[in-house]
Structure 1
Amino acid sequence: MPKIIYTLTDEAPLLATYSFKPIVEAFAATAGVEIETRDISLSGRILAAFSDRLEESQRVDDALAELGELTQSPDANIIKLPNISASVPQMKAAIAELQAQGFDLPEFPDKPETDEEKEIRDRYDAVKGSAVNPVLREGNSDRRAPAAVKRYAQEHPHWMGEWDPESKTNVAHMKDDDFHGNEQTVVMENDDDLKIQLVSPLGKVQVLRESLKVQAGDVVDSTFMSVSSLKAFLRRQIRRARQENVLFSVHLKATMMKVSDPIMFGHVIRAFFTDVYKEYGADMDAAGLNPNNGLASIFKGLEKMENGAEIRAAFDEAMANGPRLAMVNSDKGITNLHVPSDVIVDASMPAMIRNSGHMWGPDGEEDDTLAVLPDSSYGEVYQAVIDDCRDNGALDPRTMGSVANVGLMAQKAEEYGSHDKTFEIPFHGTIQVVNSAGDVIMDDIVDPGDIWRACTTTDAAIRDWVKLAVARARATGDQTVFWLDRSRAHDRTLKRIVRRYLSELDTEGLRILFMHPADAAETAVFRMRKGLNSISVTGNVLRDYNTDLFPILELGTSAKMLSVVPLMAGGGLFETGAGGSAPKHVDQLVNENYLRWDSLGEFLALAESLRHFAENHGNQGAGVLGDALDKATEKLLLENKSPARKLGQIDNRGSHFWLTLYWAKELALQTTDEDLAAAFKPLAAELENNAQKINEELIAVQGSPADIGGYYRPDPEKTAAVMRPSETFNSIIDQLG
């Protein structure tokens, strides 16, 4: 029997699910739609990876693998909430919590030596980083701002910081010898099985990957970043930030790019604290203090070292004498370099642009910033937007147009850094990509420490991407631009393929263009200022970046985007927008019993999921539920019932109540399905009659600590009690269910 699968994820979205899921289940049941859940949280993925080590009662199924199989079915209907893309510090914290809860998990081996340690590390590596998205995203991405959300943003504009024409904020990136400059691309003529190996000048061969299966038509890339060039670049930017008297910040994606970006993060720390590492580097390395994990991890480790206080003082002195570091939390002394997962490029750069080009300094004041994005592939996009704001001032949410996105991501397209095709080079030699006939199809001369990576993009994914772009262009009439950089080997190849597939489609009357990403960004912002809409058609990484950049400028947050993934097998994946998993919100709930996470993206995704269910299975009631939910969501926005930020006001649970009331009223008044209308009339009346009481019950619990029994794996009973504190509301919903 077809079902809607709701994913259980992490942090704030998971907490919100405890409140919202009972409502969804009750409403869906009235139309005969069954809701099931699958746990793809970080803790759930860890437990599944080590299920064979656990007691029978503790074992969990591999829900992610199950959902991966489901994406190949036309019946797939999955609502995917934001999940943790774990960095190493997050992995270790989650493991420690699970161990404390009684799960027999091994420690995370930083430097595995024995076969057992290597096998353990392999299991953990399969869980960390962006492990979920490549499995579930068996379709390309369609992300846009729904009309109701856009209207609300225009009528209730969010704050935008003013820009000083003399602002010294800029983006710094490498000019050559990076991933962009060293890229090679081939298109496979036949199905094949490739091998990746490193060959020394003396003929020593180290196989890095024994088997990489590819299909005819696949685009296969290889590239590397020179670590010597990276180090020289970082030294120059540190000097530049000090000379220009701006904040120094680094913007990477150490979670999704789980091999390359943590390594680069570590090099930033070594470069910033050069003198410290000259004197104490050997001591810290011997103690296992890896700069890839950030300053917080190093400082914690120093507490256990005999000369730890001396080394910590050296770090403090270096921070005092170097350029001012951008801060994550000035009050607590948490810098941009403390935790790799704290400053994620796709969220941090738009926030900086929105905030007058400023980040927070050590003195607790805002200031201009040098934003360091080592790889040149995408830095120019942000620079183009910064230049526009410096020249023309902040964008106006009341009048600006939208930039939707059609993103290439199906079948793990362009999944740089999120897989086992990225390596830190152990010795000087030549990396070879070898086909089954023994021919070297790509090679790179590399040095120790260089970061080499490959990726594949299937022909079927590209064809589907082009088809989706044309469909969106036809549906909207908006200017549609493929963001492709002719100076990149991959993009040049992609452009030829895209042109071929465009020629097979009806593009009559459509305005479809090709632009360099920096030019495309400049054009998109120019059109936004004129109130015009555009569609950016991008590869996977720019999809990730653009679907935060433009929504944060347009709407104040990327969590309010509608995110639909039409699966290539015919099913649907409905994501709840971008916006991360909001760890700070969990802290507020635990300390104050107040959750300001906004579930708006979840409401939008659920409505699309219900309509998809209706169309695929001829269930009229599901479509009625979806349409009514969209109207209720618009009412929620217009009535300003979204979560506020202060105690004593509506939080996430309160917004769920008001949405439920508006949803029930819409269903009671609709004329398409008389049985549904009859079922919801008494519910709407009961909710409305008890609205004041329910609202008071929801607000009354705020202000005191809340016990949810765990951060990465909260206790279900405790969390349900915290997230469903209104007995009146619960009884009404449970009766419907």
Structure 2
Amino acid sequence: MAKIIYTHTDEAPLLATYSLLPIVSAYAAQAGVDVETRDISLAGRIIAQFPERLTPAQAQADALAELGELATRPEANIIKLPNISASVPQLKAAIAELQEQGYDLPDYPESAETDEDREIRARYDRVKGSAVNPVLREGNSDRRAPASVKAYARKHPHSMGDWSADSKTRVATMGQDDFRSNEQSVVIPADDTLRIEHVAADGTVTVLKDSLTVLEGEIVDGTFLSVASLQAFLTDALAAAKAEGVLFSVHLKATMMKVSDPIIFGHVVRAYFKPVFDTYGDQLAAAGLSPNDGLGGILDGLGELDNGAEIQAAFEAALAEGPRLAMVNSDKGITNLHVPSDVIVDASMPAMIRIGGHMWGPDGEEADTLAVIPDSSYAGVYQTVIDDCKANGAYDPATMGSVPNVGLMAKAAEEYGSHDKTFEAPADGVIRVVNAAGEAVVEHEVRTGDIWRACQTKDASVRDWVKLAVNRARATGVPAIFWLDEDRAHDANIIAKVRTYLQDHDTTGLTIEIMDPAAATAYSVERIRRGEDTISVTGNVLRDYNTDLFPILEVGTSAKMLSIVPLMNGGGLFETGAGGSAPKHVQQLVQENYLRWDSLGEFFAIAASFDHLAEVEGNARAKVLGETLDRATGTFLEQDRSPGRRLGTIDNRGSHFYLALYWAQELAGQSDDAELAAAFAPLAEALVKNEDAVVAELLAVQGTPADIGGYFRPDETKVSAVMRPSATFNEALASL
């Protein structure tokens, strides 16, 4: 039987799965397709790390490792929903919830002093940050707005804030002594084994990472950010925000960059509250209250200290004295500095640009903002868009073009910070990458506390990326621009490979160029304003940024993107958009039984999964399912069946009902398979007949709290009951 693997992930996408998956499974079964699930949620990944501590009923297999192996095989067909890319505070919260549910899990060790603590921390470190994506992405990324979504956005343009030519909003970035400027890069001449080591000023050698296997032609990079320069930069940025009367905000990636960016975030918290840390820093550290975890965690822990009220008053005084902070939730007093994973650059910067260069201030009003992006690698992308909006006004979703993306990410390409190759320098000295012959191939002089990191990009990944870019350019007739900066060490090596591998393809009549990121941005937004499309061909981190930036401006959200990963060995990975996992949506469901999550990205991924299955296995019915689902999704958009934003309108569950209705109608009316049409005709008739009853049952549950039995690991029985409250719909679906 043909098989699709549907992943259980986290938060809103997980809750939506309990409503959508029964529909998909029932429809797929009619085509001889079995839909299986695998739990790769944060909670599931934690549980899989400690089998020896759990009962047989509690233990579960390492589904992520299983899917990682499957992704290397040609039969792979995986639908991957958004995960929590866990910061340390989220990881701790998930552990605490599982402990309350009876799981015998150890606490996360803040400092690993013993061998046991080091082992525990190593296990937890395997699941935090962007731990899932590098394992599954055995191919490069093809992400774009489906034609139906783009057409809908043009017909029903979303709101855009007004831009003023005299807006004070701008990006502040280091430009020197940062990751971009300190980068070194080398192409490995032959298969080798590397190690990363720190050599202290007194000659003491500490191995930071041993037995790092690399292949011929692989690119290995190392770089560091000077903490002294960071601190000086932050001091200047805080003074500038105060003098200019704008909000201060910092924009990092404390999820993908799970080691480096939380440390940087901690330095920002220290810089803003310098008087507090000068006076109470040692006491806070002794109490385990780290600025790396954010202001919120420190404030929550002050109640345990004898002089907690005194320290809280000092924080409040610093807030009153410093520049106004941008807010995550001004009503609840949650600032930009409360939680490192609350303000993620790839989502927060596009949202700011979309509303006219504003963020929300402590008074609940919008205001111009100094957006602090310490590392200068891609800060220029956002500054270029801001400059364009100041000069030309807001973009018009009704007429603007599109910027699809081809992203280099296969085999963990360029996953800076998502792995075990990022370190805080333990002392003054040198951090270097040494080959098996004992030769240093990358070497940096560092000071105590400097943040050093390395990454790898395999040659085969680059070759496949170039092929995908050429194929997309040929399929669309749209210019493909490689966003690469010849003045950056890593990009210079990538450029050499791109120029070599482009020669393997017939590019006659195609526009394929290489531009640095700021120039590529300017080129793309100029075309956007003319209604023209431009393919951005980027590295992995910039892929993450661009697949939020442009979709949020074009179609209002990145969750509605078609995201296909053609796996290098012939399988398919179908991701459901870049919309995050929406914790606020979970909170709303628990408070008032209303789930705002839009599953449109899932609809596109499911259709593409069926199409892939039809192509590789010759399953004609899978092809019918994919084609009819595409048409049903078009009707879904035209009829505006996405979830509303307030009680009394259909939410995620109602949107799933309407998709099921339109899909059943398409299947009943198609002419390619009479037997399949006959199977769905009664269901289509029943859903149309009972539409009012189903909608009434779905609306009736709104407005009261919902018990799902857990945030990170909900109770399956409870959450299924919450997400499938219409007996009429459930009975009709069961009849299929």
The TM-score, its normalising length taken from structure 1, stands at 0.99
Cα deviations by residue, 1:337-374 (Å, 9 ceiling, x for unpaired): 00011000000000000011000001111100000000
SS at match of 1:427: coil
Cα deviations by residue, 1:28-73 (Å, 9 ceiling, x for unpaired): 0000000000000000000001112101111001000000000011
SS at match of 1:563: strand
Aligned position for 2:611: 611
SS at match of 1:324: coil
Aligned position for 2:132: 132
SS at match of 2:431: strand
Tell me, in whole angstroms, the C-alpha distance in 2 between the residues paired with 1:31 and 1:405.
32
Cα deviations by residue, 1:644-682 (Å, 9 ceiling, x for unpaired): 001011100000000000000001111111111111111
Q: CA deviation at 1:115?
A: 0.7
Tell me, in whole angstroms, the C-alpha distance in 2 between the residues paired with 1:25 and 1:508.
44
Counterpart contact for 2:15–2:723, Cα < 8 Å? yes
The reply on whether 1:638 has 2:608 as its aligned counterpart is no
SS at match of 1:369: strand
Aligned position for 2:514: 514
Q: CA deviation at 1:2?
A: 3.7
SS at match of 1:171: strand
**Bigger shift: residues 127-136 or 1-10:** 1-10
Aligned position for 1:308: 308
Aligned position for 2:344: 344
Q: Which amino acid aligns with 1:67?
A: L
Aligned position for 2:446: 446
Cα deviations by residue, 1:420-460 (Å, 9 ceiling, x for unpaired): 00000100111121111111111100000000001000000
Counterpart contact for 2:80–2:573, Cα < 8 Å? yes
Aligned position for 1:620: 620
Tell me, in whole angstroms, the C-alpha distance in 2 between the residues paired with 1:286 and 1:651.
47
Tell me, in whole angstroms, the C-alpha distance in 2 between the residues paired with 1:735 and 1:54.
39
Q: Which amino acid aligns with 1:489?
A: A
Tell me, in whole angstroms, the C-alpha distance in 1 between the residues paired with 2:479 and 2:41.
38
Could you tell me which runs of 5 or more consecutive residues in structure 2 were left unpaired when the two chains were aligned.
none
Cα deviations by residue, 1:385-425 (Å, 9 ceiling, x for unpaired): 00000110000000000000000000000000000000001
Cα deviations by residue, 1:109-154 (Å, 9 ceiling, x for unpaired): 1111111011101000101000000000000000001101100000
Within 5 Å, give how 1:391-540 maps onto structure 2: 391-540=391-540
The reply on whether 1:383 has 2:417 as its aligned counterpart is no
Counterpart contact for 1:2–1:75, Cα < 8 Å? no
Tell me, in whole angstroms, the C-alpha distance in 2 between the residues paired with 1:93 and 1:650.
31
Aligned position for 2:60: 60
SS at match of 2:464: helix
SS at match of 2:514: strand
Aligned position for 1:9: 9
Tell me, in whole angstroms, the C-alpha distance in 2 between the residues paired with 1:58 and 1:681.
42
Aligned position for 1:711: 711
SS at match of 1:283: helix
Cα deviations by residue, 1:594-640 (Å, 9 ceiling, x for unpaired): 00100000000000000100111110000100000000001000001
Q: CA deviation at 1:239?
A: 0.3
Tell me, in whole angstroms, the C-alpha distance in 2 between the residues paired with 1:25 and 1:211.
44
Cα deviations by residue, 1:502-555 (Å, 9 ceiling, x for unpaired): 011110100001111001111111100000000000000000000000000000
Aligned position for 1:277: 277
Tell me, in whole angstroms, the C-alpha distance in 2 between the residues paired with 1:12 and 1:504.
44
Q: Which amino acid aligns with 2:99?
A: Q
SS at match of 1:376: coil
Tell me, in whole angstroms, the C-alpha distance in 2 between the residues paired with 1:321 and 1:610.
58
Tell me, in whole angstroms, the C-alpha distance in 1 between the residues paired with 2:530 and 2:641.
31
SS at match of 1:3: strand
Pairwise CA RMSD = 0.6
Tell me, in whole angstroms, the C-alpha distance in 1 between the residues paired with 2:61 and 2:175.
47
Could you tell me which runs of 5 or more consecutive residues in structure 1 were left unpaired when the two chains were aligned.
none
Tell me, in whole angstroms, the C-alpha distance in 1 between the residues paired with 2:101 and 2:269.
34
SS at match of 1:364: coil
Cα deviations by residue, 1:52-105 (Å, 9 ceiling, x for unpaired): 210111100100000000001100000000010001110111111000000000
Counterpart contact for 2:406–2:536, Cα < 8 Å? yes
* Percentage of pairs with the same residue: 68
Aligned position for 1:654: 654
Aligned position for 1:361: 361
Counterpart contact for 1:610–1:622, Cα < 8 Å? yes
Counterpart contact for 1:404–1:534, Cα < 8 Å? yes
The reply on whether 1:228 has 2:254 as its aligned counterpart is no
Q: Which amino acid aligns with 1:225?
A: L
Aligned position for 1:334: 334
Q: Which amino acid aligns with 1:199?
A: V
Tell me, in whole angstroms, the C-alpha distance in 2 between the residues paired with 1:276 and 1:248.
18
Tell me, in whole angstroms, the C-alpha distance in 1 between the residues paired with 2:735 and 2:253.
46
Q: CA deviation at 1:201?
A: 2.4
Tell me, in whole angstroms, the C-alpha distance in 2 between the residues paired with 1:442 and 1:577.
36
Q: Which amino acid aligns with 1:135?
A: V
Tell me, in whole angstroms, the C-alpha distance in 1 between the residues paired with 2:546 and 2:327.
24
Q: Which amino acid aligns with 1:502?
A: L
SS at match of 1:34: strand
Aligned position for 1:678: 678
SS at match of 1:127: coil
Q: Which amino acid aligns with 2:442?
A: M
Q: CA deviation at 1:734?
A: 1.5
Tell me, in whole angstroms, the C-alpha distance in 2 between the residues paired with 1:362 and 1:211.
50
The reply on whether 1:693 has 2:693 as its aligned counterpart is yes
SS at match of 2:378: helix
Tell me, in whole angstroms, the C-alpha distance in 1 between the residues paired with 2:298 and 2:704.
33
Q: Which amino acid aligns with 1:589?
A: L
Tell me, in whole angstroms, the C-alpha distance in 2 between the residues paired with 1:577 and 1:176.
34
Q: CA deviation at 1:175?
A: 1.5
Tell me, in whole angstroms, the C-alpha distance in 2 between the residues paired with 1:29 and 1:2.
10
SS at match of 2:332: coil
Q: Which amino acid aligns with 1:165?
A: A
Q: CA deviation at 1:491?
A: 0.4
Q: CA deviation at 1:200?
A: 1.6
The reply on whether 1:732 has 2:732 as its aligned counterpart is yes
SS at match of 1:56: coil
Q: Which amino acid aligns with 1:700?
A: A
Tell me, in whole angstroms, the C-alpha distance in 1 between the residues paired with 2:545 and 2:673.
42
Counterpart contact for 2:473–2:480, Cα < 8 Å? yes
Q: Which amino acid aligns with 1:378?
A: Y
Within 5 Å, give how 1:578-617 maps onto structure 2: 578-617=578-617
Q: Which amino acid aligns with 1:231?
A: Q
Q: Which amino acid aligns with 1:62?
A: D
Tell me, in whole angstroms, the C-alpha distance in 1 between the residues paired with 2:441 and 2:388.
42
Q: Which amino acid aligns with 1:658?
A: Y
Aligned position for 1:100: 100
Counterpart contact for 2:707–2:719, Cα < 8 Å? yes
**Deviation >4 Å, runs of 4+:** none
Tell me, in whole angstroms, the C-alpha distance in 1 between the residues paired with 2:499 and 2:717.
55
Q: Which amino acid aligns with 1:334?
A: I
Cα deviations by residue, 1:460-512 (Å, 9 ceiling, x for unpaired): 00000000000000000001100001110000111010000001111010000
Within 5 Å, give how 1:195-210 maps onto structure 2: 195-210=195-210
Q: Which amino acid aligns with 1:143?
A: R
Q: CA deviation at 1:735?
A: 1.9
Tell me, in whole angstroms, the C-alpha distance in 2 between the residues paired with 1:504 and 1:694.
56
